[in-house]
Chains A and B, each alone.
Chain A
Amino acid sequence: DQQVKQNSPSLSVQEGRISILNCDYTNSMFDYFLWYKKYPAEGPTFLISISSIKDKNEDGRFTVFLNKSAKHLSLHIVPSQPGDSAVYFCAAAGAPGANNLFFGTGTRLTVIP
Protein backbone atom coordinates (compact mmCIF):
# COMPACT_ATOMS: atom_id res chain seq x y z
CA ASP A 1 0.00 0.00 0.00
CA GLN A 2 1.58 3.22 -1.19
CA GLN A 3 1.54 5.70 1.67
CA VAL A 4 3.24 8.43 -0.30
CA LYS A 5 1.98 9.17 -3.78
CA GLN A 6 3.16 11.29 -6.64
CA ASN A 7 0.39 11.12 -9.19
CA SER A 8 2.19 12.93 -11.99
CA PRO A 9 4.90 10.72 -13.47
CA SER A 10 6.24 13.55 -15.61
CA LEU A 11 6.18 17.33 -15.96
CA SER A 12 7.57 19.63 -18.64
CA VAL A 13 8.22 23.30 -17.98
CA GLN A 14 9.76 26.11 -19.96
CA GLU A 15 13.04 27.51 -18.65
CA GLY A 16 12.45 30.48 -16.36
CA ARG A 17 8.92 29.45 -15.45
CA ILE A 18 7.74 27.85 -12.23
CA SER A 19 7.79 24.08 -11.72
CA ILE A 20 5.29 22.66 -9.24
CA LEU A 21 5.67 19.05 -8.15
CA ASN A 22 2.96 17.53 -6.01
CA CYS A 23 2.90 14.80 -3.40
CA ASP A 24 0.09 13.28 -1.33
CA TYR A 25 0.30 11.03 1.69
CA THR A 26 -2.15 8.89 3.58
CA ASN A 27 -0.58 8.42 7.03
CA SER A 28 -1.44 11.34 9.29
CA MET A 29 1.34 10.29 11.68
CA PHE A 30 4.09 11.37 9.30
CA ASP A 31 5.84 14.36 10.85
CA TYR A 32 8.67 15.13 8.47
CA PHE A 33 8.81 15.38 4.71
CA LEU A 34 11.73 15.50 2.33
CA TRP A 35 12.35 16.00 -1.37
CA TYR A 36 15.14 14.23 -3.19
CA LYS A 37 16.47 14.84 -6.68
CA LYS A 38 17.83 12.01 -8.79
CA TYR A 39 19.78 11.99 -12.02
CA PRO A 40 19.95 8.80 -14.16
CA ALA A 41 22.31 6.12 -12.86
CA GLU A 42 22.99 8.11 -9.69
CA GLY A 43 21.68 7.98 -6.15
CA PRO A 44 19.12 10.53 -4.98
CA THR A 45 20.44 13.66 -3.31
CA PHE A 46 18.65 15.56 -0.59
CA LEU A 47 17.04 18.78 -1.76
CA ILE A 48 14.82 20.28 0.90
CA SER A 49 12.70 19.21 3.85
CA ILE A 50 9.89 20.43 6.05
CA SER A 51 8.65 19.56 9.51
CA SER A 52 4.96 19.07 10.14
CA ILE A 53 4.94 22.07 12.48
CA LYS A 54 5.60 24.35 9.52
CA ASP A 55 3.67 25.03 6.35
CA LYS A 56 6.49 26.45 4.26
CA ASN A 57 10.23 26.11 3.94
CA GLU A 58 12.31 28.01 1.44
CA ASP A 59 15.86 27.46 0.21
CA GLY A 60 16.92 29.60 -2.70
CA ARG A 61 14.90 28.69 -5.77
CA PHE A 62 13.21 25.80 -3.95
CA THR A 63 10.18 26.11 -1.69
CA VAL A 64 8.21 23.29 -0.13
CA PHE A 65 4.63 23.85 1.03
CA LEU A 66 2.80 21.55 3.42
CA ASN A 67 -0.97 21.35 3.82
CA LYS A 68 -1.52 18.94 6.69
CA SER A 69 -5.31 19.01 6.54
CA ALA A 70 -5.17 17.92 2.91
CA LYS A 71 -2.18 15.60 3.47
CA HIS A 72 -0.52 17.30 0.57
CA LEU A 73 2.83 18.86 -0.08
CA SER A 74 4.33 20.54 -3.09
CA LEU A 75 7.75 21.59 -4.29
CA HIS A 76 8.05 24.86 -6.19
CA ILE A 77 11.10 25.64 -8.28
CA VAL A 78 11.40 29.24 -9.43
CA PRO A 79 12.87 30.01 -11.89
CA SER A 80 13.28 26.57 -13.46
CA GLN A 81 16.60 25.84 -15.11
CA PRO A 82 17.61 23.06 -17.54
CA GLY A 83 19.90 21.62 -14.86
CA ASP A 84 16.80 20.99 -12.75
CA SER A 85 15.75 18.25 -15.18
CA ALA A 86 15.72 15.10 -13.07
CA VAL A 87 13.40 12.75 -11.20
CA TYR A 88 12.09 14.19 -7.94
CA PHE A 89 11.06 11.92 -5.09
CA CYS A 90 8.91 12.94 -2.20
CA ALA A 91 9.55 11.09 1.08
CA ALA A 92 7.92 11.01 4.49
CA ALA A 93 9.08 9.97 7.95
CA GLY A 94 7.79 9.60 11.46
CA ALA A 95 5.30 6.81 11.20
CA PRO A 96 5.18 5.03 14.57
CA GLY A 97 7.24 1.86 14.56
CA ALA A 98 8.87 2.68 11.26
CA ASN A 99 12.45 3.91 11.30
CA ASN A 100 12.71 4.45 7.59
CA LEU A 101 11.60 6.86 4.91
CA PHE A 102 8.60 6.15 2.72
CA PHE A 103 9.10 7.27 -0.86
CA GLY A 104 6.74 8.28 -3.60
CA THR A 105 7.09 6.95 -7.12
CA GLY A 106 8.81 10.05 -8.43
CA THR A 107 8.07 12.77 -10.97
CA ARG A 108 10.34 13.31 -13.95
CA LEU A 109 10.82 17.02 -14.51
CA THR A 110 12.01 18.25 -17.88
CA VAL A 111 12.95 21.91 -18.17
CA ILE A 112 12.91 23.01 -21.78
CA PRO A 113 15.52 25.61 -22.74
Chain B
Amino acid sequence: DGGITQSPKYLFRKEGQNVTLSCEQNLNHDAMYWYRQDPGQGLRLIYYSQIVNDFQKGDIAEGYSVSREKKESFPLTVTSAQKNPTAFYLCASSISGQGISNYGYTFGSGTRLTVV
Protein backbone atom coordinates (compact mmCIF):
# COMPACT_ATOMS: atom_id res chain seq x y z
CA ASP B 1 0.00 0.00 0.00
CA GLY B 2 1.19 3.51 -0.79
CA GLY B 3 1.72 5.97 2.00
CA ILE B 4 4.09 7.98 4.13
CA THR B 5 6.12 6.41 6.89
CA GLN B 6 7.55 8.44 9.73
CA SER B 7 9.95 6.97 12.21
CA PRO B 8 10.40 6.71 15.05
CA LYS B 9 6.95 7.32 16.53
CA TYR B 10 8.45 8.54 19.80
CA LEU B 11 11.90 10.05 20.22
CA PHE B 12 13.70 11.34 23.28
CA ARG B 13 16.62 13.68 22.98
CA LYS B 14 19.02 15.07 25.47
CA GLU B 15 19.62 18.77 25.43
CA GLY B 16 22.45 19.71 23.08
CA GLN B 17 22.02 16.70 20.82
CA ASN B 18 21.00 16.68 17.20
CA VAL B 19 18.36 14.17 16.15
CA THR B 20 17.04 13.17 12.74
CA LEU B 21 13.43 12.31 12.02
CA SER B 22 12.78 10.03 9.09
CA CYS B 23 10.09 10.50 6.45
CA GLU B 24 9.68 8.12 3.51
CA GLN B 25 6.92 8.03 0.91
CA ASN B 26 6.14 5.58 -1.88
CA LEU B 27 3.38 7.64 -3.47
CA ASN B 28 5.64 9.04 -6.18
CA HIS B 29 4.82 12.51 -4.91
CA ASP B 30 7.08 15.35 -5.97
CA ALA B 31 6.56 17.66 -3.01
CA MET B 32 7.24 16.95 0.64
CA TYR B 33 6.71 19.04 3.76
CA TRP B 34 7.55 19.13 7.45
CA TYR B 35 5.14 20.64 9.96
CA ARG B 36 5.31 21.07 13.67
CA GLN B 37 2.26 20.90 15.90
CA ASP B 38 2.15 22.51 19.33
CA PRO B 39 -0.93 22.69 21.55
CA GLY B 40 -3.21 25.53 20.49
CA GLN B 41 -1.01 26.55 17.58
CA GLY B 42 -2.10 24.33 14.74
CA LEU B 43 0.37 23.20 12.12
CA ARG B 44 3.36 25.39 11.36
CA LEU B 45 5.52 24.83 8.29
CA ILE B 46 9.20 24.13 8.94
CA TYR B 47 10.60 23.22 5.50
CA TYR B 48 9.26 22.03 2.20
CA SER B 49 10.69 20.58 -0.98
CA GLN B 50 9.09 20.58 -4.41
CA ILE B 51 11.75 18.56 -6.21
CA VAL B 52 14.81 16.51 -5.45
CA ASN B 53 17.87 18.47 -4.32
CA ASP B 54 15.81 21.57 -3.64
CA PHE B 55 14.05 22.80 -0.51
CA GLN B 56 12.78 26.04 0.98
CA LYS B 57 12.40 27.38 4.49
CA GLY B 58 8.96 27.61 5.97
CA ASP B 59 7.74 29.86 8.75
CA ILE B 60 9.80 28.33 11.57
CA ALA B 61 12.97 26.91 9.95
CA GLU B 62 15.44 28.15 12.56
CA GLY B 63 17.15 25.29 14.36
CA TYR B 64 16.16 22.73 11.74
CA SER B 65 17.79 21.32 8.62
CA VAL B 66 16.61 19.04 5.83
CA SER B 67 17.89 17.22 2.78
CA ARG B 68 16.16 15.85 -0.32
CA GLU B 69 18.64 13.52 -2.00
CA LYS B 70 15.93 11.11 -3.12
CA LYS B 71 12.36 11.69 -4.21
CA GLU B 72 11.10 9.23 -1.60
CA SER B 73 12.93 10.65 1.41
CA PHE B 74 12.85 13.96 3.26
CA PRO B 75 14.60 13.66 6.65
CA LEU B 76 14.42 16.45 9.19
CA THR B 77 17.27 17.16 11.61
CA VAL B 78 16.43 18.98 14.80
CA THR B 79 19.65 20.67 15.84
CA SER B 80 20.81 21.85 19.24
CA ALA B 81 20.07 25.39 18.02
CA GLN B 82 16.33 24.71 18.22
CA LYS B 83 15.46 26.16 21.60
CA ASN B 84 12.13 24.44 22.14
CA PRO B 85 12.13 21.22 20.15
CA THR B 86 9.57 19.27 22.16
CA ALA B 87 6.61 18.90 19.80
CA PHE B 88 4.71 16.62 17.46
CA TYR B 89 6.29 16.58 14.00
CA LEU B 90 4.31 15.76 10.87
CA CYS B 91 5.62 14.97 7.42
CA ALA B 92 3.38 15.33 4.39
CA SER B 93 3.57 14.96 0.64
CA SER B 94 1.61 16.10 -2.36
CA ILE B 95 1.62 15.16 -6.02
CA SER B 96 3.08 18.49 -6.93
CA GLY B 97 3.83 21.65 -5.06
CA GLN B 98 2.03 23.44 -7.85
CA GLY B 99 -1.02 21.25 -7.73
CA ILE B 100 -1.89 20.99 -4.09
CA SER B 101 -5.20 22.64 -4.77
CA ASN B 102 -6.36 19.51 -6.49
CA TYR B 103 -5.14 16.89 -4.13
CA GLY B 104 -4.10 18.36 -0.83
CA TYR B 105 -1.63 16.56 1.37
CA THR B 106 -1.10 13.02 2.50
CA PHE B 107 0.28 12.99 6.04
CA GLY B 108 2.42 10.55 7.93
CA SER B 109 1.45 9.42 11.41
CA GLY B 110 3.90 11.78 13.10
CA THR B 111 6.86 11.67 15.47
CA ARG B 112 6.60 12.97 19.00
CA LEU B 113 9.93 14.42 20.07
CA THR B 114 10.63 15.06 23.74
CA VAL B 115 13.73 16.75 25.09
CA VAL B 116 14.83 15.28 28.42
Residues of A within 8 A of B (CB): 2, 6, 9, 31-32, 34, 36, 41-46, 49, 51, 89, 91, 93-94, 99-101, 103-106
Contact = CB atoms under 8 A, between A and B. Distances in A.
Given A44-B107, A100-B33, A94 B101 contact: yes
Contact of A100 (B9, B45, B109): B45
A105 B37 CA distance: 9
Interface residues of B, number: 30
Contact of B42 (A42, A46, A94, A106): A106
Contacts of B43: 44, 89, 103
Contacts of B41: 105
B104 A45 contact: no
Nearest to A4: B42
A43 B110 contact: yes
B108 interface: yes
Which of A2, A6, A100 has the most CB atoms of chain B within a 10 A radius of its CB? A100
Which of A9, A34, A36, A101 has the most CB atoms of chain B within a 10 A radius of its CB? A101
Interface in B86-105: 88, 90, 92, 97-98, 100-102, 104-105
Nearest to A9: B40
A105 B48 contact: no
